[in-house]
A and B are shown apart, each in its own frame.
Chain A
Amino acid sequence: GENVEQHPSTLSVQEGDSAVIKCTYSDSASNYFPWYKQELGKRPQLIIDIRSNVGEKKDQRIAVTLNKTAKHFSLHITETQPEDSAVYFCAASLTGANNLFFGTGTRLTVIP
């Protein structure tokens, strides 16, 4: 099956700085790459996703980039705020949003 690796496992940034989280995947047939944010004790919530026919997608302060050749994708958060502090998971799938393979998560801490 698909194998997704995520780095770093923890990330601390000053408020207002940017944060970047990177993931690699193993199966070149994967075609859907979502990012989820999970606050302590809560459920994962989708923040942005990208499909394999697109190289970049933005939504306000959040952007995702995809490099299919290198099989990696990244989450970029600009102008970070304390409420961005959470665990972020990347995922990949061969079947759209079904049957996601998740990375191991990045704990982001935004220091006020």
Chain B
Amino acid sequence: NAGVTQTPKFQVLKTGQSMTLQCAQDMNHEYMSWYRQDPGMGLRLIHYSVGAGITDQGEVPNGYNVSRSTTEDFPLRLLSAAPSQTSVYFCASSYGINSGGASSPLHFGNGTRLTVT
């Protein structure tokens, strides 16, 4: 299994440009999410999905869109990039919560380092 795969690893955008960060997992995980990591602020949840066709907002959703057309893929779209979106972006996935209330650990991808000038 490749686990959680993110592309690209690095990206530089100009203010106002749009782009999509790709995330794919091959573990048949129901739950997928996007976090951004900024110095001194830990990781903050942007958007998440509990299954194909279902998405919801996290702590810091403004300026980002997501969709979940398949179980495997969860792309993150920046509509009009701003310098404040300069960050490292991590995609993560897990099996989610079973009927007994137990959940599996979150697996992270290797990250995408985005710079907006």
Q: Is the CB of B106 within 8 A of A100?
A: yes
Q: For this complex, into which size category does the number of interface residues on chain B fall?
A: 20 to 34
Cα distance, A106 to B59, chains bound together (Å): 21
A43 near B108 (CB under 8 angstroms)?
Answer: yes
A residues near B42, Cβ cutoff 8 Å = 4, 6, 89, 102-105
Instruction: Give, as a whole number of angstroms, the nearest-CB distance from B89 to chain A.
Output: 11
B2 at the interface (CB under 8 A from A): no
B54 at interface by CB-CB < 8 Å? no
Q: In the complex, A75→B64 CA distance in Å?
A: 34
Among B42, B43, B102, B110, residue most surrounded by chain A Cβ atoms (within 10 Å): B42
Binding site for B on A (CB under 8 A): 1, 4, 6, 9, 32, 34, 42-46, 49, 89, 91, 95-105
Pull 18 A–B residue pairs with CB atoms less than 8 Å apart, ordered by A: A43-B110, A43-B111, A44-B43, A91-B43, A95-B103, A96-B101, A97-B31, A97-B96, A97-B103, A97-B106, A98-B31, A98-B48, A98-B94, A99-B58, A100-B43, A103-B42, A104-B42, A105-B40
Contact residues of B with A, CB < 8 Å? 31, 33, 35, 40-45, 48, 50, 58-59, 90, 94, 96-97, 101-106, 108-111
